[in-house]
Chains A and B, each alone.
Chain A
Amino acid sequence: GQNIDQPTEMTATEGAIVQINCTYQTSGFNGLFWYQQHAGEAPTFLSYNVLDGLEEKGRFSSFLSRSKGYSYLLLKELQMKDSASYLCALNSGAGSYQLTFGKGTKLSVIP
């Protein structure tokens, strides 16, 4: 089976940098997704990491270390609209989707 842990809640200040961690135990996976979900809305794709290392996309970056069973999402220059839940998910599918999600981290951005 797969077990994914994320902090339940985090609070950060507008303009700051926040790192949301995701640790996992699994017998194997093909890649790791990060999704953003605003309250009452559907999730939206942020990133997909297959190889170890950092993937940067504007204000958002995602990092994966397979040997340490660890990933993080880094959000820079926080804006109020970044208040949302952030979900990490392991993908077991080979060239397809078979996701196992963490419970998500609810981020609150305060002025």
Chain B
Amino acid sequence: KAGVTQTPRYLIKTRGQQVTLSCSPISGHRSVSWYQQTPGQGLQFLFEYFSETQRNKGNFPGRFSGRQFSNSRSEMNVSTLELGDSALYLCASSLDFSGNEQFFGPGTRLTVL
């Protein structure tokens, strides 16, 4: 069974630009969560989607948004990039919360110059 895949793996953008990251969950998984990881702030929850609906959202500005498609694939978008958005963006999938276990993808390393 293929794991969680994220594309692209690395990305370099400049301030003010926008970026879209993609996440394909494990086949059959309907819950997809997104996280930001930085050396200073650690791992922070962005949002969770289930069956195309955002169930929960972390404490991030409105520049961070996401969506989930009918095939459970998810995208997150960051508009008007700032230097502080440089981070590893991880997505994780699970069947549903009852399974408890989330499987993480390898992440997308975003660098904002």
The interface stretch among A18-26, A39-47, A63-71 is A39-47
Q: Is B55 on the interface with A (CB-CB < 8 A)?
A: yes
Let me know if A99 and B45 touch, CB within 8 A: yes
A43 and B58 alpha carbons, distance in the complex (Å): 19
Q: Is B100 on the interface with A (CB-CB < 8 A)?
A: yes
Residue interface mask B77-113, A partner, CB < 8 A = 1: 0000000000000101010011011111111000000
Let me know if A103 and B42 touch, CB within 8 A: yes
Residue interface mask A47-89, B partner, CB < 8 A = 1: 0100000000000000000000000000000000000000101
Give which listed residue, A48, A87, A95, A98, contacts B58 with CB less than 8 A: A98
Asked whether A102 and B42 contact (CB < 8 A) given A42-B90, A93-B55, the answer is: yes
Let me know if A101 and B43 touch, CB within 8 A: yes
**Whole-angstrom distance between the Cβ of A105 and the nearest chain B Cβ:** 11
Asked whether A101 and B42 contact (CB < 8 A) given A45-B101, A93-B55, the answer is: yes
Asked whether A87 and B56 contact (CB < 8 A) given A97-B31, A97-B97, the answer is: no
Chain B at the A interface: SS class? strand
A98 and B46 alpha carbons, distance in the complex (Å): 9
Q: Is A100 on the interface with B (CB-CB < 8 A)?
A: yes
A65 and B30 alpha carbons, distance in the complex (Å): 31
Q: Is A96 on the interface with B (CB-CB < 8 A)?
A: yes
Residues 32 to 56 of chain B near chain A (Cβ within 8 Å)? 33, 35, 42-45, 48, 50, 55-56
The 8 tightest CB contacts between A and B, nearest first, are A42-B104, A98-B56, A101-B43, A45-B101, A48-B100, A96-B55, A97-B48, A99-B45
